[in-house]
Structure 1
Amino acid sequence: MRRVVLVFALALLGMPAFAHKASDAYLTLERNGQALRGQWDIALRDLDNALGLDENGDGDITWGEVRARERDIAAYALAHLQVSSAGKLCALEPNGQLIDSHTDGTYAVLTFTGQCPRAGPTLALDYRLFEGLDPQHRGLLNFVENGQSRSVVFSADAPQRIVGDDSGGRLRQFATYLNEGVWHIWTGFDHILFLLSLLLPAVLIRDRHTWRPGASFRGAFVEVTKVVTAFTVAHSATLTLAALSIVVLPSRLVESGIALSVVLAALNNLFPLVASGRWLAAFGFGLLHGFGFAGALYDLGLPTGSLALSLAGFNLGVEAGQLAIVLVFLPLAFGLRATWAYRRVMFAGGSVVTATVAMVWLIERAFNVALWSALASRL
C-alpha cells in the first residue's frame, strides 16, 4: 500500500508546478499592408531551459537576470520565427521587452516590428521556438488584420501555418478551438484530479461509516451522470461569462480556489461529510473551474469574426475531453470496485496523494511561493 501511494506521489510530482497548462507561448501579430507589429509572451522557465537565465542557480529568475539577457532572449526568439509575404521573408526587429504574469508563471514579453518586401494576401509563418528542447511546446498565435482576429496553434508536428485574408474560415476556427478545449482538459491536471476525486466514490456505497461496492452499473452510471452534468453546466456558464468579460475574477483567487476544491474533494473521500449529493459539490466548484478554463481561453484569444462559434468550440472540446476520461474511468472502476486494489489503493491511497499534492498547489498559488520545486528537489 505504501509503495503504491509513493508511486502515485512521484508520478504527480512530475506534473508542472501550477498543474494547469503545458508549455505555451503567446504570439500576437498584427499586419497593416507591408508593416507588422508583434508581441510574444514566453515563459521564463522555458527560456531558462534554453538560455540558462538563472545565473546564480537559486531557482529564482530575477528581473535583473532577465534584463542582462534581453538581447539573447530577443535573438533566440526571433531566430525561431520566420514570416514570409508573397514568397519573401519579412525582416523582424525587437523594440522592447517587459515582464508579465500569466496563470502559470512569469513571462518575458518581447515586442517587435516587421517589414515585408511585398504585401500579399496571406502570410506564411514558420514557428520553431524550443525546437529540439521541448516537443510538447505550442505557440498560440492571435493574428489581427483589418480589425478582425483569428487564432492559430503551432506545435512540433505543425510548425508552419498560413494566415491572412484567404486562410481563415469559421469552421477552421471552430475546429481549432475544439481541439484547444480537448487539449486543455487533458493537460489540466487540477481539473482532472477534481473530477476523478468526485467520480471515485461513484462505484461505491457509503454504509455504516464504511464504503462497500455498489450493486449495479446502472446506479454508478446515474451517479456519474449527475456529477458530470452538474460540473459541465456550472463551468460552461462561468466560462462564457468570463470569456465575454461579463464577470472577471483575479487569476490568483481562481487558481487557489481550484486547488482548494481538489483538496476538499479528495478529503471528502477519506472523511465523508457529503456521502451523497456530490453533484452539488461538482456544481458549486464547477463554477470556479469555469473561470480557470476562461483563463486559458483568454490567453488563446477569441477571434472577433467568429467569437460565438469559437467559444462554443472550446466549450465542446472541454466536454469531449471530459467525456473521454469518464468513458475510460467508469467501466474500469466498476470492474475493480470490489477489489482491495481499488478500495485501498486507488480510492483511499489515491485520495491521500491527491489531497497532499493539491495542498502544495494551494500554498504555492495562494502565497506565490516555489514550494513545489523545493519539495520535488528533495525527493
Structure 2
Amino acid sequence: MRTLLALLLLFAAALAHAHKPSDSYLAIRAEGANLSGQWDIALRDLDFAIGLDDSGDGDITWGEVKAHQADIAAYALARLKLRSRDADCPAHATEFLVDDHSDGAYAVMRFAATCPREVTTLEITYSLFADLDPQHRGLLRLEHGVATRTAIFGPERATQSFELAKISVLTQFVDYAREGVWHIWIGFDHILFLLSLLLPAVLVLDGGRWQAVARFPPAFWDVFKIVTSFTVAHSITLSLAALGVISLPSRLVESAIATSVVLAALNNVFPVVHGRRWMVAFAFGLIHGFGFASVLRDLGLPQGALLIALVGFNLGVEVGQL
C-alpha cells in the first residue's frame, strides 16, 4: 500500500512541477487622482490567448513581443477595470519590457490611469484569462503612501474594493498571511514533499504488508518533529531570501525542490533513510524556503511594514500546511 502511495506521489510530483498554476502579477500605486502600474503576464499564457510566436518555433522573442505590444495592451486592459468613487479610471499602456520569473518569461506592461478625483477608494475588476483558464489567478500589490495591500483575484473574486485611507498594519498582516495560505495551497510540491516524509510515520511493514502504526504517541512525535523541522528550516531561508541577504538562481531552486519530492517518495519504495527523517525535512526545508521567497519577491515587501508582512506570510504558510 505504501509503495502504491509513493508511486502516486512521484506521479503527482511530476505533474506539479510541469504544470505550475497560471498567475499574473499586478502592481498599482495611487497618488492623488493618478494611478501607475505594472502588470507581469506570462508569455506562454499570452501566446495561448492571442498568439505571439509568429515563427512557430516555440521560442517567443523580444521582437515578437514588440510586434504584438498593441495586441497585448488591448487584450489585457480590456480585462482590467479600475473605478474610484463611482467613476471609471481608464488605463493606457506606457511601456513594455520582458522579465524572467521563477516559471519562465513574462511580458511586463507598465500603464497609467487618471481618475476624475483623488483616489480614496479603488474598485478593481480583474478578468484576465477568465474564459480560458478558470485556475488563473491575479496577484495584486496596491501601494498608497508607505502602506501596501495585497489581494488575489480569480473567478470567485473578480471584483474587489479597497479603502486606501484605512490601510492599517493589521490589514497588511492579514493580506500577507492570506498570500501565504494561498501559496501553500497551490504549491503542491511542498505538500507532496511533506506527505512523502510523513508516510513512514503512520504506516509500517508487518509480515509483508503495510499497516497503520499500532500506537499513536510515537507516530505523533515523528510527525511533529518532521513538520517542525521543515517549518524552522524554510522560515530561515524564506526570511533571508526575502530580505535580500541570500539569493539563489530560481531554476536551481525549482529543480532542487522537484528533486527533493522525488527522493522523498523513492525513499518509501527503496528505504535508505529509516530514522531521523526530521533531518531530511530540515535540509530540504532550507531549499523550499527559497521557493516560498520567490512569491514574496514577485509581490514585493512593503517598505513601511517589512517585518509585519514577512511574519504574516510565514504564518500563512504554516496555517496552509495544517
Distance change (3 Å), C-alpha of 1:96 and 1:186: same
Structure 2 partner of 1:219: 218
1:206–1:275 CA contact under 8 A, matched in 2: no
Structure 2 partner of 1:54: 53
Structure 2 partner of 1:275: 274
Structure 2 partner of 1:74: 73
Q: Distance in 2 between matches of 1:133 and 1:24?
A: 13
Distance change (3 Å), C-alpha of 1:305 and 1:157: farther
1:1-379 pair list within 5 angstroms: 14-15=15-16, 17=18, 21-205=20-204, 213=211, 214-323=213-322
Alpha-carbon RMSD: 2.8
- What's the CA shift for 1:167? 4.2
Distance change (3 Å), C-alpha of 1:196 and 1:176: same
Deviations 1:277-296, CA, capped at 9 Å, x for gaps? 00001011111111111111
Give the aligned residue type for 1:103.
S
Aligned length: 320
Structure 2 partner of 1:365: none
2:40–2:106 CA contact under 8 A, matched in 1: yes
- What's the CA shift for 1:205? 4.4
1:185–1:191 CA contact under 8 A, matched in 2: yes
- What's the CA shift for 1:121? 1.8
- What's the CA shift for 1:91? 2.7
Deviations 1:235-284, CA, capped at 9 Å, x for gaps? 11211222222222222222222122223222322332221000001011
Q: After alignment, is 188-197 or 157-166 more displaced? A: 157-166
2:13–2:188 CA contact under 8 A, matched in 1: no
1:16–1:22 CA contact under 8 A, matched in 2: no
Q: After alignment, is 119-128 or 33-42 more displaced? A: 119-128
- What's the CA shift for 1:101? 0.8
Distance change (3 Å), C-alpha of 1:211 and 1:10: closer
Could you tell me which runs of 5 or more consecutive residues in structure 1 were left unpaired when the two chains were aligned: 324-379
Distance change (3 Å), C-alpha of 1:147 and 1:26: same
Distance change (3 Å), C-alpha of 1:10 and 1:269: closer
Structure 2 partner of 1:348: none
Distance change (3 Å), C-alpha of 1:9 and 1:283: closer
Deviations 1:116-152, CA, capped at 9 Å, x for gaps? 2222322222222112222222211212222333222
Distance change (3 Å), C-alpha of 1:299 and 1:97: same
1:141–1:151 CA contact under 8 A, matched in 2: yes
State TM-score, norm by structure 1: 0.76
Question: Alignment partner of 1:247: what SS?
Answer: coil
Distance change (3 Å), C-alpha of 1:41 and 1:235: same
Q: Distance in 2 between matches of 1:130 and 1:278?
A: 42
Q: Distance in 1 between matches of 2:8 and 2:230?
A: 29
Give the aligned residue type for 2:143.
V
State TM-score, norm by structure 2: 0.88
- What's the CA shift for 1:207? 8.7
Deviations 1:176-232, CA, capped at 9 Å, x for gaps? 222221221121121122111111111244799x88643322222221111111111
1:150–1:302 CA contact under 8 A, matched in 2: no
1:150–1:305 CA contact under 8 A, matched in 2: no
- What's the CA shift for 1:36? 2.2
Structure 2 partner of 1:332: none
Q: After alignment, is 266-275 or 73-82 more displaced? A: 266-275
Could you tell me which runs of 5 or more consecutive residues in structure 2 were left unpaired when the two chains were aligned: none
Distance change (3 Å), C-alpha of 1:184 and 1:83: same
Deviations 1:35-57, CA, capped at 9 Å, x for gaps? 22211000112212211223454
